[in-house]
């Protein structure tokens, strides 16, 4: 298994553990949603490239500039970049998984209903 595939799997597992999160596959792409809204895109499940190239796209506010500093990161296309979405390549040199998971959680908090964010906070250790 490639490093990028392993990183992607860990990020997806984290995303799906958030309250109300579920996986969907619009356009053949893996995404994590809360309700009907996507909070993280994780790209296609299979890649023709060798080694496969995976990326994560999340909506970021506080971490936006930090994410854009990752080599290869860019504002997301299709007009999403104007709304704070950033696409970060998942490579062996990516930020550590805990940083990626923090970005997933930040995106979740921006997208999820307040009730579910409250549920997330209630289950955090003090």
Average pLDDT along the chain: 89
Tokens of 117: 């964010």
Tokens of 43: 């790209």
pLDDT at 52: 57
pLDDT at 73: 92
Right CATH number for 3-117 from 3.90.1150.30, 3.30.200.20, 1.20.1250.20, 3.40.1410.10?
3.90.1150.30
pLDDT at 16: 97
97-111 vs 114-122: helix crossing angle, rounded to 10: 140
Q: What gap in Å lies between CA 63 and CA 48, rounded to an integer?
A: 31
29 Cβ contact partners less than 8 Å away, ≥ 6 residues apart: 41, 42, 43, 44
- Return the domain boundaries, the chain: 3-117
Q: Assess whether pLDDT exceeds 70 at residue 50.
A: no
């Amino acid at each position: 298994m490639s490093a990028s595939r392993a990183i992607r799997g860990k990020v997806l597992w984290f995303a799906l553990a958030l309250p109300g999160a579920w996986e969907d596959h619009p356009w053949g792409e893996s995404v994590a949603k809360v309700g009907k809204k996507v909070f993280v895109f994780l790209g296609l499940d299979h890649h023709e490239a060798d080694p496969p190239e995976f990326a994560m796209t999340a909506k970021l506010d506080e971490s936006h500039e930090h994410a854009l500093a990752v080599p290869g990161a860019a504002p997301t296309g299709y007009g999403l970049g104007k709304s704070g979405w950033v696409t970060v390549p998942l490579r062996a040199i990516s930020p550590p998984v805990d940083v990626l998971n923090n970005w997933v959680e930040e995106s979740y908090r921006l997208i999820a209903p307040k009730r579910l964010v409250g549920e997330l906070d209630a289950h955090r250790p003090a």
